Structure 1
Amino acid sequence: MSAVLQLKNVHRSYAGVPALAGIDATLPNDAYVSLLGPSGSGKTTLLRVIAGFEPADGGQILFAGRRIDGVPPHQRGIGFVFQNFALFPHLSVRQNIAFGLESRVVDPVTDVKIVAGRVRDMIALVGLAGLEDRAITQISGGQKQRVALARTLVTEPSMVLLDEPLGALDANLRTRMRGELRKIRERCGVTFLHVTGSETEALAMGDTVLVLDRGRIAQSADAGTLYSRPASPDVARFLNCFNIFSGELADDAFVSPVGRLALGDARQPSAKPAYAIRYDRVSIRPKDAAPAGDEVRIEGSFVASEYSGAAINSFFALDDGRVFEVETHLSHAAPENYEERGRYALVWKKEDSLVFA
């Protein structure tokens, strides 16, 4: 698959403090790419540098094969959808979308019929038919999101940047809009780069997920690889689905504050040794249950359970004071009731563990 965007050693600092510390990444053409990272990792800065709203201090940005660092935003061919939508409240849905065509600096469209036809096609594409003459103040958050996207897409950009586009929506609408955005992108055939701080959103949306950590790309992978094989302990923490132990390798085990943990074959090179087991790979058993030969067992005291619809997350206090989390999918078994402060065995297959060393 050909690349639409290449970032080569891109830097950006504020008052001497690096926000982007040497970004190297390649974004494929005709793809949905998620950019995931915690607050302060440089996500929005990277988006603004790609768009041209802020200059890079160093490095190269290549778009469709040509360098664009130093090129004004309106000449880059890249669309931008803001988190707060940035719509004009005094204009109708139709007028907001048309604004992108009529008011652009390069080749504004002045033929009323051409504008009307392009806007009509875009309204159909994003599912806003029947709302053309509504005021922005009379439509829902999800509909505003579509108007903002349509206003960008009507200019036919080769790539669209979305800065936390679902952050202003309620939880149910966010879930619905994930599927809508993917469908719209597929119909347009352009690359979307979607910034989010939500690991669930990033994994659900992205054909490729980039993880940004302290101004650098910590991992670039498809969602399945990222979820099962994070490249570092820090990436595993961002995903919020792993129990992670510090410690060190010793012969055939990982020595941790809760004891010696048997090793599987999954290893990731890392400067910091760590042992990780995903929440949904752990089973909860009575305290006196003996593990099988291929299993790892520790003990913990039950603290609480949290119901999330399709799953229950149970929390246990380990002997070193840390909280250990277990995710049980309700499609696998009926929910269990655990005794408060009761002791239980927490068991997993050693081959399900991931060791960073």
Structure 2
Amino acid sequence: MLKLNGVTRRYGDIVALDGLDLIVPDDTYLSLLGASGSGKTTLLRLIAGYEEPNEGEVLLNGERLDGKPPHRRDIGFVFQNFALFPHLSVSDNVAFGLRYRESGAIESKAQIRERTEDALNLVGLDGFGHRGVGEISGGQRQRVALARTLVTEPRIVLLDEPLGALDANLRARMCDELRAIRERLKVSFLHVTGSETEALTMGDTVAVLADGKIAQVDDSSTLFSQPKNPAAARHLNAWNLLPGVVEGGALRTSVGLLPIVEQVADNTPVQLAVRFDEIGVCDPAQVPEAHDHFEATYVTGEFNGPTALSFFRTPDGELIQVVDHLSDSRLPDLKEGQAYALHFPPDAAVLFKGAA
């Protein structure tokens, strides 16, 4: 089990990680979701030993790692750009760590060849060992980088946006393959990504990194449907957030007074969150009975294959997004510049106490 206790990393006056706590259990695939600049890569570098925390501790199976050099931590790291040696063959890239690691280097050519071939077979590259890394595709190079990491049998594998350099179709295939490989090896993977879709698809568990701390850790389904705070909701890119203040048992927002189900004291700052796919759109005079609603102007739409995303602007400039599944379309034909009622059942709204 990997455990980080109160880990802080500062760069001058900039705090990249702020007293962060995180646990990666044994035999699990944990996705770490965060925006660009949130400290995701910094966190991996601290675990791997390429940087050291200013405060806090990093432990693996109870053993303190901070202060140890990277090559003595027994941690695998798959870099975003793969970091392969261009002058070496696929096999030589994979075998490099076996030959040259400080502790436990293998001298037997037969043993090196057997372990290298096993690693290549594991990632689906059996028969590719003789090729140069410039002679294979981006997806194959990603697999070589993974094989080079796995061949040394690390206790945990860190993946820094490993699918970022691949095209969409290849990313989808590699998602399945990475999960299958991890399940066969029974070693934990910590997979960093800025894509909410990738994080939810890959992780048995997903951790959201925001403002230098872990905002929420949960399984994919729970995180998507029940975010615990605004930071988690924003990173999922599936929730609209409307800030307001409680007034007489309702919420005073920029779009008017909205009913709330929960009992909250007056003058409490609150953010109301409604998921993109929970919002319906209709003429202001035809709002379904028992639905809460507010008015907004249709701006434009975005076609995404099986879904379409519609954008609306509230009178004070807030952008509201509504998703429609085209196999079961529920939105009317929308006209740019026209005002519509955006409605939702009261139980679809989630309240987060605190200012935006």
TM band (smaller chain): over 0.9
Deviations, residues 198-249 of structure 1 (Å, cap 9, x unaligned):
1111111111111111211111111112111222212211211111111112
**Poorly superposed stretches of 4+, deviation over 3 Å:** 264-267
Aligned match for 1:115, one of 112, 126, 131:
112
Q: Runs of 5+ in structure 2 lacking a partner? A: none
Shift of 1:265: 5.2
Report the Cα distance in structure 1 between the residues aligned to 2:75 and 2:103, rounded to whole angstroms: 13
In 1, the alpha carbon distance for the partners of 2:201 and 2:250 equals 34
Query: Which of 105, 124, 144 is the matching residue for 2:121?
Result: 124
Q: Distance in 1 between matches of 2:179 and 2:280?
A: 35
% same residue:
50
What does residue 334 of structure 2 align with?
A: 338
The secondary structure found in structure 2 opposite 1:40 is coil
Q: Indicate if the aligned counterparts of 2:52 and 2:67 stay in contact, CA closer than 8 A.
A: yes
Alignment of 1:309-348 (within 5 A): 309-333=305-329, 336-348=332-344
Amino acid at match of 1:74: H
Cα distance change of structure 1 residues 251 and 57 upon mapping to structure 2, 3 Å threshold: same
Residue 325 of structure 1 and its aligned partner are, at CA, apart by 0.9
1-side partners of 2:137 and 2:186: how far apart? 26
1:60-119 Cα deviation digits (max 9, x unpaired): 111012111112211111100111100011111111111121111110111111111111
Superposition deviation, residue 127 in structure 1: 0.6
Amino acid at match of 2:152: T
Q: Comparing 132-141 with 147-156, which one deviates more in the overlay?
A: 132-141
Kindly indicate whether the alpha-carbon contact (under 8 Å) linking 1:242 and 1:278 is maintained by their aligned counterparts in 2.
yes
Code of the residue aligned with 2:200 in structure 1: it is L
8 Å contact 1:89–1:135 — kept in the other structure? yes
CA distance in 2, matches of 1:185, 1:272: 44
Partner of 2:121, secondary structure, is helix
In 1: Cα distance, 2:204 partner to 2:269 partner: 29
**Contact 1:266 / 1:355 at 8 angstroms: preserved in 2?**
no
Count of residues in correspondence between the two structures? 350
Unaligned runs of 5+ in 1: none
Counterparts in 2 of 1:9 and 1:342: CA distance versus 1, 3 Å: same
Counterpart code for 2:215: A
Structure 1 residue 51 displacement after superposition: 0.5
Q: How does 1:1-357 map to 2 (within 5 A)?
A: 4-264=1-261, 273-293=270-290, 295-333=291-329, 336-357=332-353
- 1:39-71 per-residue CA deviation (whole Å, 9 max, x = no partner) reads 221111111010011111121111012111112
Could you tell me which amino acid in structure 1 is paired with residue 339 of structure 2?
A: R
After TM superposition, the structure 1 stretch with the greater mean CA deviation from structure 2, 168-177 or 211-220, is 168-177
Q: CA RMSD in A?
A: 1.7
Say whether the 8 Å CA contact 1:264–1:350 is kept in structure 2: yes
TM score, norm. by length of structure 2: 0.94
The answer to whether the Cα contact below 8 Å between 2:273 and 2:349 also exists between their aligned partners in 1 is yes
Quote how far apart the aligned CAs of 1:266 are.
11
